[in-house]
Every structure is written in structure tokens, then in C-alpha cells.
């Protein structure tokens, strides 16, 4: 039932309860809109503080709803009602489009990261279940990776869950995906447990940030084998690859890479670790 209250202009007025019911919005929300100054009553009764709204004012509620659907915060709607043309807010729309594009990219980055991690778990599980530890030849496409050089003390947990590395990525707002990869300049030093330095690599996701150090990985042939279990005896897989290379006429190295498929990021059970050892190789003439 429409209130009999009228403005001095003769326009019919509606109570806050009537507006809430007609526009399917709570009275609490209407009061909040008033606090923000985006939907104010046309009349406030001095005796009891009741709020009244005319039909024209009420028709601003659908506009608020549509702005909210587009992703605008209520605070960003200030001033919309005060201008005869909503084209006044063209700059707001441009700004919102830029904001939404960034949000869209962030969601894509998260989807890629989650999908890649899921695929790693499947890859590692397949290697464990099928006891895949044979040597194979693989060509890897060249891709750009963020990287950081570091000392290496054979403390694999600190090298993989690497606090300085994570802090550096975070400080530069760099999103990454996929496994941690450690690069060693000499596969023989790594095999003989003499490596003193390594380079941590991870694949960027989204737009490449050149404030971080970037290097290419891939673009060549590798001899590869999965190592299943604790990292401390991974050197045995290096020896296995080297023996296979000699037997099949390949020259190894000098670089080697360890790609951590299942590691400390996923489980504390070291017998479930899966690491792919990759050693650069060329076919001997």
C-alpha cells in the first residue's frame, strides 16, 4: 500500500519498507546506501525519523544493482545520482575495465598454477606406480624462466622451499607455476656430490617481469630419468644416465638439472619423492 505522504511537489512518497519490498532489497542495505550518500531519502519526518522516497529516487536502486553486478564497489558510485548524464562516469568505467582485466589475468594465473600442480601430482604418481626410472632421450622446447643463483649445501629442503627465492618473487610481484628446477653447471660435480652452487628456476605465469633475472631453459636434447625416493641418493641416477650415454653413443653435459615433481611442497614422505634428472646431451658422431 502506497503511503499517503507527499512532497510539496505533490509526488507520492514511499516508506523505506515499501521501497525495500518493491525493489527487493533489505532496509538495512537502504540505510547503508544512505550512510554512503548514494541513496538518500527525499523526506525525513522530524517527529519520528521515518524515511520517505519518491518514485524517481526509487528508480536509482536498479542502477545501483547493475553497477554492483559490473563489479563497482558502493563507494565508487558516489556522485552517480547527482549528474544528469551517466556518461559523466566514463573515466570510472575505463578504470574499472583496467581493474577487471587485472583480476581476470590473476584468475588465469591461479588456474594455470593449480592445473600445473595437479598435473605434477599425476606425473609423479604415474612414475611411482609404474616404477619408471629408465633413461630416455627428450627434446625440451626453449622457454624463459625466472632464476636466482645460490649456494648449494645438499640441503634439498632449503633449496626447494627456498625462503629468499620466494621473498624475491613476492617483492617483484612475480607469479610462477610448475615445479622448482635446480640447475648445476657440472653434472659430474653433482654426481660426485661436489657441487657448491646451483641456480633455482621457475616458470613465469602471466606477463613476464624483467625486474627479475630471466634466463632460457631448453632448446636442446636431454637424457632424462626419474629418481624415486630420498634426494640423498639421487647421484645413483646420474651414474645410470652416464652409463647409458656411453653405451648408446651420447656425450653428456656439462649442465644438469633436477626437476622436482613431487617434493617437500607436496609431502613429508621422502620415499614418495619424484625427481626428474635431466642432463644435456649430444649424439656422438
Contact 140, 218 (CB under 8 A): yes
Q: Does domain 13-80 have CATH number 3.50.50.60?
A: no
Collapsed DSSP state (helix, strand, coil) of residue 128: helix
Tens-digit pLDDT profile for residues 95-111: 889 999 999 999 999 99
d(CA 13, CA 51): 9
Predicted pLDDT of residue 128: 97
Mean pLDDT of 257-276: 97
Cβ count near 188 (within 10 Å): 16
- Nearest CA-CA partner of 176 in 210, 201, 148: 201
pLDDT at 11: 76
Superfamily for 107-283? Regulatory factor, effector binding domain (3.20.80.10)
Question: What span, in angstroms and rounded, lies between the C-alpha atoms of 100 and 109?
Answer: 14
CB 136 within 8 A of CB 224: yes
Contact present, 178 and 257 (Cβ < 8 Å):
no
- Please report, for residues 6, 78, 114, 184, 202, the alpha-carbon distance to residue 81 in angstroms, rounded to integers and kept in the order given: 21, 8, 43, 64, 49
Report the pLDDT value the prediction gives residue 90, as an integer from 0 to 100. 76
Domain segments of the chain as ranges? 13-80, 107-283
Segment 230-245 mean pLDDT: 97
220-228 vs 274-283, strand pairing mode: antiparallel
pLDDT at 285: 73
Specify the pLDDT at position 226: 98
Any alpha helices (H) in 172-234, and if so which ranges? 187-191
Is it the case that residue 19 has pLDDT exceeding 60? yes
pTM over 0.85, yes/no: no
- 107-283: same fold as 13-80? no
Closest CA to 132 of 123, 145, 143, 120: 123
**Which three three-digit cell numbers place residue 72?**
563497482
Query: Is the per-residue pLDDT at 88 higher than 60?
Result: no
DSSP type of residue 261: E
Give the separation between CA 174 and CA 62, rounded to whole angstroms.
40
Amino acid at each position: 500500500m502506497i503511503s499517503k505522504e507527499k512532497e510539496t511537489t505533490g509526488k507520492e512518497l514511499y516508506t523505506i519498507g515499501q521501497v525495500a519490498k518493491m525493489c527487493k532489497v533489505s532496509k538495512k542495505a537502504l540505510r547503508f546506501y544512505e550512510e554512503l550518500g548514494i541513496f538518500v531519502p527525499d523526506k525525513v519526518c522530524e517527529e519520528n525519523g521515518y524515511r520517505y522516497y519518491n518514485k524517481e529516487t526509487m528508480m536509482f536502486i536498479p542502477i545501483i544493482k547493475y553497477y554492483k553486478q559490473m563489479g563497482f564497489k558502493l563507494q565508487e558510485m558516489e556522485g552517480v545520482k547527482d549528474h544528469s548524464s551517466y556518461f559523466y562516469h566514463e573515466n570510472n568505467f575505463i578504470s574499472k575495465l583496467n581493474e577487471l582485466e587485472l583480476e581476470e589475468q590473476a584468475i588465469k594465473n591461479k588456474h594455470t598454477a593449480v592445473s600445473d600442480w595437479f598435473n605434477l601430482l599425476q606425473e609423479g604418481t604415474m612414475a611411482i606406480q609404474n616404477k619408471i626410472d629408465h633413461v630416455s632421450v627428450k627434446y625440451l622446447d626453449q622457454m624463459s624462466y625466472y632464476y636466482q643463483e645460490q649456494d648449494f649445501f645438499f640441503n634439498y629442503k632449503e633449496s626447494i622451499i627456498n625462503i629468499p627465492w620466494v621473498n624475491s618473487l613476492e617483492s617483484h610481484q612475480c607469479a610462477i607455476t610448475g615445479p622448482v628446477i635446480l640447475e648445476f653447471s657440472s653434472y659430474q660435480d653433482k654426481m660426485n656430490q661436489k657441487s657448491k652452487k646451483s641456480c633455482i628456476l621457475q616458470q613465469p605465469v602471466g606477463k613476464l617481469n624483467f625486474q627479475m633475472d630471466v634466463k632460457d631453459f631448453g632448446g636442446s636434447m636431454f637424457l632424462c630419468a626419474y629418481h624415486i625416493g630420498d634426494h640423498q641418493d639421487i647421484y645413483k641416477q646420474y651414474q645410470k644416465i652416464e652409463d647409458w650415454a656411453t653405451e648408446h653413443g651420447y656425450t653428456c653435459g656439462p649442465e644438469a638439472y633436477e626437476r622436482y615433481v613431487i617434493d617437500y611442497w607436496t609431502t613429508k614422505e621422502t620415499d614418495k619423492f619424484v625427481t626428474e634428472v635431466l642432463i644435456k646431451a649430444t649424439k656422438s658422431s
